[in-house]
A = this chain, B = another copy of it.
């Protein structure tokens, strides 16, 4: 066997799979942005069909042959080739454990479930979504039995989004995080300073918001020739290779920040995908290192950068061109409004400080649900109880409570922790960035983000999924994930803003 030929053959095979996945991705994107209301059922069948074909491709005997043929040559392979083979084997083994008809039925269920979630959210009625969610949870539990588990069933799901992550590790991380957040929050409660954010509410024309969003996307380094910005109920990013990366947002005319900061958030995901090396096409590695690393980028752009005083300075100067309302707003006022802390109901709208608590609530609920210690029937009560307990708020209806996120509708259990981990990774990287380039934030004041984006490109983006999250964070910062950086960052930032300690 000529190693090079066999590798080329495998890449060709994976290329086919990638093309199928891209087509499927487009069908999903279209379902969330463009689908006529009567077409849901028939489009779900297309999703089922393509997913079934993808399943066949990734579990075929051909793949098993590639693995057997190539494994003896691992020592002669380049790093990328080695990782490609590892990733293929992991994917093959994991997918192969699920019977095809189960998989296809599950995929069909999920696309219907997503549509039901949208309907339920519109109607603010969890009951519409509940029967779908019950089935999705049943499937997830069944899949865990197929996949197997060690101590905790939920570990099997966590591992899918963050290789090697367990509830044991996460319990510790989240304990430290929660304590940190609560500590800062308590200080803020003692603060005598009151911030004002009234000027962020009013009438903000959707077309102008869109123009501003596009302008800022360009500034932060998102390439509009290799991407789009559209509208959907729940903002998301999807991509078909690195030349077509699609973000969505959702304009609310009664306030200023929601669409803009969700655009910047999705922009962070998008910049990641756009800058993954062309070399990784058809290797299975042309994607992020993990969902948490992905979130580290989106939340870095959204918060660490986007809500920094330096960026606020630039943003305010631009926003004044779009909206009269900001004419007399000072930088301090604007910066403080952008970082107003208030325990609230909606995760995606939460301030940077209390955001982690939203994630921890979901994490705790998912653990219980997946381990069968609670049922979907109890979900809403538990949700409301935890929101009361952790954040002191109560949803007025299901759409601002249990229906606010779409993740459960497509079975993404185990994903939520990625958001909080993303904050941690992001702050840890930021700490290194500032050490390596102490003046970098100065340039942000003038809207110059080139150096930051370039640093992230080189350190994170270009590598795609070549390195595990752990390898990557060590490579960049010299140590493994450490929550201390994020907690220090929060303390530094919010004590100053709220004039405490």
Contact = CB atoms under 8 A, between A and B. Distances in A.
Interface string A25-38: 01100100011111
A66 interface: no
Contacts of A244: 35-36, 38-39, 42-43
A19 B241 contact: no
A175 interface: no
A33 to B, nearest CB: 9
A393 interface: no
Contacts of A49: 16, 19-20, 23
A20 B41 CA distance: 16
Which interface class (under 10, 10 to 19, 20 to 34, 35 or more) fits A? 35 or more
A227 interface: yes
A19 B225 contact: no
A38 B275 CA distance: 13
A240 interface: yes
A156 B41 CA distance: 38
A228 interface: yes
A120 to B, nearest CB: 19
Contacts of A53: 53
Contacts of A243: 36, 38-39, 41-42
Given A36-B228, A226-B36, A241 B42 contact: yes
A241 B23 contact: no
A374 interface: no
Interface in A41-76: 41-43, 45-46, 49-50, 53
A28 to B, nearest CB: 11
B43 A240 contact: yes
A473 to B, nearest CB: 30
A431 interface: no
A16 to B, nearest CB: 6
A342 B16 CA distance: 52
A23 B34 contact: no
Contacts of A46: 19, 22-23, 240
A320 to B, nearest CB: 26
Contact of A225 (B24, B38, B41): B38
A347 to B, nearest CB: 29
A233 interface: no
A105 interface: no
Contacts of A123: none
A35 B225 CA distance: 9
A245 B22 CA distance: 22
A101 to B, nearest CB: 14
A39 B278 CA distance: 13
A15 B49 CA distance: 9
Contacts of A45: 15, 19
A224 interface: yes
Contacts of A23: 23-24, 26-27, 46, 49-50
Contact of A38 (B19, B30, B42, B226): B226
A36 B241 contact: no
A3 to B, nearest CB: 25
A19 B42 CA distance: 9
A227 B19 contact: no
Contacts of A22: 42, 46
A108 B20 CA distance: 16
Contacts of A224: 36
A27 B227 CA distance: 15
A54 to B, nearest CB: 12
Contacts of A15: 45
A227 B42 contact: no
B228 A34 contact: yes
B16 A241 contact: no
A408 to B, nearest CB: 26
Given A23-B46, A38-B225, A46-B240, 6 more contacts: A19-B46, A20-B50, A23-B24, A23-B27, A38-B243, A38-B244
10 contacts: A16-B49, A20-B50, A23-B27, A36-B224, A36-B226, A38-B226, A39-B241, A41-B243, A43-B240, A43-B244
Minimum-distance CB pairs A-B, first 5: A39-B244, A19-B49, A39-B243, A38-B226, A38-B243
Interface of A: 15-16, 19-20, 22-24, 26-27, 30, 34-39, 41-43, 45-46, 49-50, 53, 223-228, 240-241, 243-245
